[in-house]
Chain A
Amino acid sequence: MIPTQFEYKRASSLDDAIALLQASKGDGKLLAGGHSLVPLMKLRLSEPGVLIDIARIPMLSGISEKDGKVEVGATTTHHAVATSELLQRLCPVLSDAAGEIGDPQVRNRGTLGGSLAHSDPAADYPAVILALNAEVHLKGPGGWRAVKGDDFFQAMFTVDMAEDEVIVGVQVVPQKVAGYAKLHQKASHYAIVGVCAVLDVAGGTINSARVAVTGASSHAQRLTEVENALAGKPLNQATIDAAAALAGATLEDVNADIHASAAYRKAMVKVFTRRALEKAASRA
């Protein structure tokens, strides 16, 4: 399958990429790993006139720790996130989720920023970004902006990002007591459902929880009914079971396709919420 013709430009810096985006007047798309965009272009569902390759801009790639926060650059591959010793130590759920994306070849090319910008309804990262309360950092002609996950993911394939903005990276306050549990679609390895749970636990009591689901509906979203059922409770199996039983009650327009009916997805939201909570609890 061959995409329509386009111009290819390699950006030399972040500001160069923004300038090229502006010059393309809405007809430009950023290319890094290309593992969301290239398949769409081959199917001619996306026909950008200009591709701006940002894969070789050094400052956009890498994982670092600064002032107690971890920053992951937009063009950091899933493989790099999955195998990062720093993340495995400080914020292991991000590595866990990255390691469950696609397959080895996809993880070698696909990038964090690409996944977030594309915001596939069944992508893994959005649930994790929401549950970790991470910030997406963007830069455009007007300067820098930080957007919380809660505000970033708006609808199917729709995020808070202007045509001439570039995702620079994600900043997260590392949290250890967290788990990601996913039901794989066996061929594509997209999430039929994926749930990320992050717990703030002190002295055996859950102070607060953030739980988010992907794959179940138009875009990743929080499971506030589960979060509310966990807050203030002792961290034990009974608490987990009771909270997980509520999971998905407020989900609207649950996805249905050849892989899973809406009823099956709803049932699996409960199961994978329980598993995500159990994984998180095992790290408490």
Chain B
Amino acid sequence: MSETLPISITVNGKVRKANVEPRLLLVHFLRENLALTGTHIGCDTSQCGACTIQLDGRSAKSCTLFAVQADGSEIMTIEGLAKDGELHPLQEGFWEEHGLQCGYCTPGMIMSGVQLLADNPHPTEAEIRKGIDGNFCRCTGYQHIVKSIQYAANKG
């Protein structure tokens, strides 16, 4: 193993410190070092978006970042969305509108939804579809995902 570097990353409000190999991908750091397995690895080629997280307030694909690049940053994962046992409006929307079938893409979809609604709280259907451009779903045909995000937008 090559030399490790110390990193300190705030994940879902908690400071997490570790010594990591530079080549450790952020998604592996989250899933394996921190056991936050809600962030999924799908294509592993920065296309499918299953690994989407928020890095310093902007959505990013954690399979295409090294953990060392996020040193000193703030990260929010799907596990950080619910507050005091209350689902985030997007989580509630995916529940109410049946926004998933197998659920593999769901954490990434929701994290992209978080970005979309932060930038544009009341998007049109076309804007929602553009906002989830970086996320693939192979089950739903996207119809119910769009409705789930509309549900959250209407709540907000």
Known: A2-B23, A8-B5, A105-B52. A31 touches B59 (CB 8 A): no
Q: What's the least CB distance linking B75 to chain A, in Å?
A: 13
- B125-139 vs A, Cβ < 8 Å mask (1 yes, 0 no): 000000101111000
Instruction: Report B16-41 residues with CB < 8 Å from chain A CB.
Output: 21-23, 25
> Contact between B64 and A104 (Cβ–Cβ < 8 Å)?
no
The distance from the CB of A220 to the nearest CB of chain B, in whole angstroms, is 22
B47 to chain A, nearest CB (A): 6
Is A104 within 8 A of B133, CB to CB? Answer: yes
User: Is A55's CB within 8 Å of the partner chain B?
Assistant: yes
Say yes or no: B47 contacts A105, CB within 8 Å. Answer: no
A50 nearest CB neighbor, chain B only? B22
Q: Is the CB of A104 within 8 A of B131?
A: yes
Question: Does A233 count as interface, using CB distance less than 8 angstroms?
Answer: no
The answer to whether B134 and A6 have CB atoms under 8 Å apart is no
Between A and B, how many residue pairs show CB distances below 8 Å? 82
Tell me how far the C-beta of B66 lies from the nearest C-beta in chain A, rounded to whole angstroms. Answer: 7
Residues A8 and B134 in contact, CB atoms below 8 Å apart:
no
A1-27 interface with B by 8 A CB criterion: 1-8
Given A31-B69, A103-B134, A108-B59, are A5 and B21 also a contact pair (CB < 8 Å)? yes
Q: Give 20 pairs: A residue, B residue, CB < 8 Å, sorted on A.
A: A2-B25, A4-B23, A6-B2, A6-B22, A8-B5, A34-B66, A38-B46, A38-B64, A39-B46, A51-B22, A104-B59, A104-B115, A104-B134, A105-B46, A105-B134, A108-B58, A109-B60, A109-B61, A109-B65, A188-B47
Interface, chain A (partner B; CB < 8 A): 1-8, 31, 34-35, 38-39, 42, 51, 53, 55, 79, 102-106, 108-109, 187-189
The 10 A-B residue pairs with the shortest CB-CB distance in the complex, in nearest-first order: A103-B134, A8-B22, A108-B58, A103-B133, A5-B2, A105-B134, A105-B61, A105-B59, A3-B23, A38-B64
Contacts beyond the supplied A105-B59, A105-B115, A109-B58: 13 A-B pairs with Cβ under 8 Å:
A3-B23, A5-B23, A6-B2, A51-B22, A104-B112, A104-B131, A105-B52, A105-B61, A105-B112, A106-B46, A109-B61, A109-B65, A187-B47
